[in-house]
Amino acid sequence: MGRHNDKSIKEVLGDFITSNTKVAKGYHTSQIDAIWKTEMGPIISGYTSKIYFKEGTLKIYLTSAPLKKELLMGKDKVINNINAALGADLVKQVEFY
């Protein structure tokens, strides 16, 4: 007797995440947090106190005012790098605090 619902764990989890918005929000936030740390490196991520992602807006709280100004100038590049690493256009806007 053969199986009728052959799906990989990745497919099942992907379906679950996309069907449950609360889970998807937390999943994407943790993904973005990990991407921020790898893409920006240890120095910039060391100045990052909090990261929030909600409805296409990524809010990043920094402890350095000069770094905030520097990142504001490269806002589009930050969005493009994060979306490229995610493999989807989830981040529409970035705000630095």
Q: 91 or 22: whose pLDDT is higher?
A: 91
Distance CA 63, CA 43 (A): 12
Q: Could you report the per-residue pLDDT of 31-63, keeping only the tens digit for each? A: 899 999 998 999 999 999 999 888 889 999 999
Cβ neighbors of 47 (< 8 A, separation 6 or more) are 62, 63, 64, 67
pTM of the full predicted structure?
Answer: 0.75
For 64-93, letters b (16+ CB in 10 Å) and e give eeebeeebeeeeeebbebbbeeeeeebbee
CATH topology of domain 9-96: GMP Synthetase; Chain A, domain 3 (3.30.300)
What are the structural domain ranges in the chain? 9-96
Total count of residues recorded for the chain: 97
